[in-house]
A and B are shown apart, each in its own frame.
Chain A
Amino acid sequence: MAIIEITALKKQYGGNYVLKGIDLHIEAGQIVGYIGPNGAGKSTTIKILTGIISDFEGDAIVLGMDVRNNPVEIKQQIGYIPEQAALYDVLTPIEYLRFVGKLYQLEDGMIEKKSQELLRLFDLSEKANTRMNGFSKGMKQKVLLISGLIHNPDIIFLDEPLSGLDANAVILVKEILAQLKHAGKTIFYSSHIMDVVEKISDRIIIIDKGQVIADGSFETLKNNAHQGSLENIFTSLTGSSELHQNTAEQFIDILKS
């Protein structure tokens, strides 16, 4: 049974459609990479599926519930980690996780225990009681990841989850995503890092200008596009690579002049 079901999803801002009719059918237990150029509508789709945006056209069913009618029930069972997410950084990680955990209605003792242990796994034990305003982007990103997973959600939505993380943390997060999949979770994430998407996704969806332009496993996409890597597939679908080359040449010419 589909865990996410989108039919004819449209979204407009002031008469301008950013999503022009999207149909998706996602099975439980998959890792879905959702990619597209800037402004393609990735974040909007994720915000609709997580119940944050409620005025849209079409239907969106998550975990068998309509996101328009049951946003709170859905939010309880999904995790969301937005792109370039801000957090209240005058709090310490422990305090912030306690705050978020309470919004998820978790027990105090459980929040405390889980936070300490998850922070330890991310090498943040020493910083657990330090205010986050001195933290690097990667450290904050780790806290955000924990805050989106602490209530053990069934579906996890991630917008650019790897940005700002160092190489070791990227490997760790990739491994965590793989383990979450093993545990039967569904992961829906967007990223610009093509080789990561290529390696970990069961299914890749490419959207451009509010429409799905490619959908399938990496193998399928490769066969259809006759290209070797996801990066090449992506540029061939969303813009011509000759155009990029041309722009780069002009850039050099201006520098020389």
Chain B
Amino acid sequence: MDKWILKFVLFLAKQLAGKGVDFERLRIITETKILMDRRRVYLNWRQKQQKENSNPLLITLLLYGLFGAFAAAIIMTMQSLMGGMIFIHSYLLFMMTMTMITDFSSVLLDTTDNQVILPRPVNSRTLFIARLVHILVYLLQFTIALALVPLIAIFFKYGSLTGMASIATMLLTVALAVFVTYLLYAFILRFSNEQKVKDIVGYFQVFMTVFFAVAFQVIPRLTDMNILSTEFHIHWYSYLLPPVWMAMLLESVHTHQLDLPHAVMSGMALSIPAITFWLMIRYLAPSFSRKLSALNNDSAGSKIAATALAQPKGLSEKLSAITCRSKTESAGFEMVWKITARDKGFKLQFYPSLAYLLVFIFVFVFKSGQDVQTLWQKLPGTKMFLFFVYLCILSIANSRIFVEFNENFLASWIYQSTPVLRPGEIISGGLKALLVKFYLPVYAILFSFGYYVWGNGIIDDFVLGFFNNILIFLVTASFTEHYLPFSRQTNTKQQSGRFAQVMLQMLIIAALVGLHYLVIQVDWLIYLLIPVSAAGCYFFLKRIQELPWIKISF
């Protein structure tokens, strides 16, 4: 699809750009950039195994098309035109802004042009148009993927006149999204350095991944949608919301009525994106490029950052002193603690898997179709608390696999050049860090919720569960392949090993949950099992600590 769009946009550019643009060079620059776009690893796709010559862009676009299908379904079921149109434009604005920030940021913030293209005989106008063409092609393919199915729905439901008008309003919305993104970047660049920008982009990426993970599970299950039938009323703040302008414009097109609010908002819908777009090309983009070209060689901002970052003894140092018995172990503890807080690769994988907790609660406990109120009242009488006891271990167990990987895995030479007698202690230190950092807080939250609903009676269950979860964690760690933290290449994830590991884990969890369920029937048994489980934890921790070098895989 991108080739056709490129041809189309290049054709337009040829008509409009006129003199001073070298078309052969324009074509080769944009073609190369689009080729690179295809090979870039996209956010939604990065967790999955990837073949060398697959086209991740296409899969991302298909995924967006699927989202578009959901949106189209909502338009079809929604009674009011206003509601549907506000929804679809908000959705487009949100998705395009997020896509621009998370995926396209690497292109917007790319400074390799400065080294690769600027030294070659290409004039600046050609380069500028090339950037513009590239951005347009990118935007158009995402817009088409997102909006094609909803547009068909609009044509079908509201007729071709409204359909045509909605093509215009959607393009205007995309223009606004571009402006918002540029404004955000310009703002961040104004106040900080390149590293900060990358960090902030990282946060957005984590947010987006979590959002996708949850949305995929929750949205299709929302069968009871009260919002669909609500009537729309204009408030003063409606004038501040771009999707409302677009919807108002479409409503007047559809009903052929034009009162004062409709006229004002339609005017805003047409003029504001145009004005902002002009502002952007005239002022924002040039200063943006200047800032970007300065990014590479400056280090002015970093001095302030250095003093700001200077920190006294951190939390991880204090905790490692409490939890670890040897220096090697505490080295592993602190390292895993710090890098899990900073490495984007880890955060992108772990936080979505933690977000699945919410999805599981949603699916298992609050099944759709049942009234939340009555469910809530029935809850204390059920044995549902077992869900809350054992729910988090799946996510936490994933974190153990994620810490084996790192983009910078080559740095693991350090383990081999230093006198590490028992590499198992590095692993056990890392496991302790994960337990303290992620398991304890999550379990505490789940316990608070359980205590609120079920009261004193479940304290002993949560105590047993506390040790059982750690036992599950340590047993799977002890019976699967052992890797030192951050020593594996990110792309070589072996699915086969993963599957066996998950199966083993499920088996142990099922056994322990089953046992726990039986124990609930006999009061005193639980006090016998708590020390047994705790002893099991101690035994397996020891086992991991004593792993010799020959048991470590690379």
Contact = CB atoms under 8 A, between A and B. Distances in A.
B266 to A, nearest CB: 48
A25 interface: no
Contacts of B311: 129
A89 B418 contact: no
Interface stretch (B251-259, B408-416, B515-523): B408-416
A86 B306 contact: no
A105 interface: yes
A240 interface: no
A86 B408 contact: yes
A102 B302 contact: no
State which size class the interface on B falls in: 35 or more
Interface in A88-133: 88-92, 95, 98-100, 102-106, 108, 126-131, 133
State which size class the interface on A falls in: 35 or more
Interface string B280-305: 00000000000000000001001101
A95 B338 contact: yes
A73 B419 contact: yes
Interface stretch (B110-118, B270-278, B326-334, B436-444): B326-334
B460 interface: no
A90 B342 contact: yes
A86 B302 contact: no
B325 to A, nearest CB: 13
Contacts of B87: none
B230 interface: no
A72 B419 CA distance: 4
B339 A88 contact: yes
A102 B339 contact: no
Given A88-B486, A105-B327, A75 B418 contact: yes
B419 A104 contact: yes
A86 B411 contact: yes
Query: Could you tell me the dominant secondary structure of chain B's interface residues?
Result: helix
Contacts of A98: 331, 334
A126 B307 CA distance: 8
A163 to B, nearest CB: 16
A134 B195 contact: yes
B234 interface: no
A126 B416 contact: no
Contacts of A131: 195, 309, 342
Contacts of A82: 413, 417
B300 to A, nearest CB: 12
Contacts of B339: 88, 90-91
Contacts of B317: 108
Contacts of A80: 417
Contacts of A74: 419
Contact of B421 (A51, A72, A95): A72
B420 interface: yes
Given A72-B419, A95-B338, A90 B305 contact: no
B343 interface: yes
A100 B415 CA distance: 9
A105 B425 CA distance: 13
Contact of A103 (B195, B406, B418): B418
- Of listed A82, A106, A130, A133, residue having the most chain B CB within 10 A: A130
Given A88-B408, A89-B408, A130-B302, A72 B338 contact: no
Given A99-B334, A102-B328, A127 B306 contact: yes
A50 B419 contact: no
Interface in B309-363: 309-311, 317, 327-328, 330-331, 334-335, 338-339, 342-343
A99 B486 CA distance: 14
A194 interface: no
A85 interface: yes
A96 to B, nearest CB: 9
Interface string A125-145: 011111101100000000000
Contacts of B327: 102-103, 105-106
Given A88-B335, A91-B339, A99-B331, A129 B309 contact: yes
Contacts of A128: 306, 310
A105 B417 contact: no
B336 to A, nearest CB: 10
Contact of A105 (B195, B309, B410, B419): B419
B421 to A, nearest CB: 5
A76 interface: yes
Given A86-B410, A103-B331, A50 B417 contact: yes
Given A82-B413, A86-B413, A100-B414, A126 B408 contact: no
A2 interface: no
A85 B417 CA distance: 12
A103 B416 contact: no
Given A100-B418, A102-B327, A102-B330, A130 B410 contact: no
Nearest to B195: A134
Contacts of B342: 90-91, 131
8 contacts: A90-B339, A90-B343, A98-B334, A102-B327, A102-B330, A130-B302, A134-B302, A148-B417
Interface of A: 50-52, 71-76, 80, 82, 85-92, 95, 98-100, 102-106, 108, 126-131, 133-134, 147-148
List of 7 A-B pairs having minimum Cβ-Cβ separation, nearest first: A102-B331, A86-B410, A75-B419, A103-B418, A76-B419, A86-B411, A90-B342
Given A85-B411, A103-B415, 6 more contacts: A50-B417, A82-B417, A88-B408, A91-B339, A98-B331, A103-B420
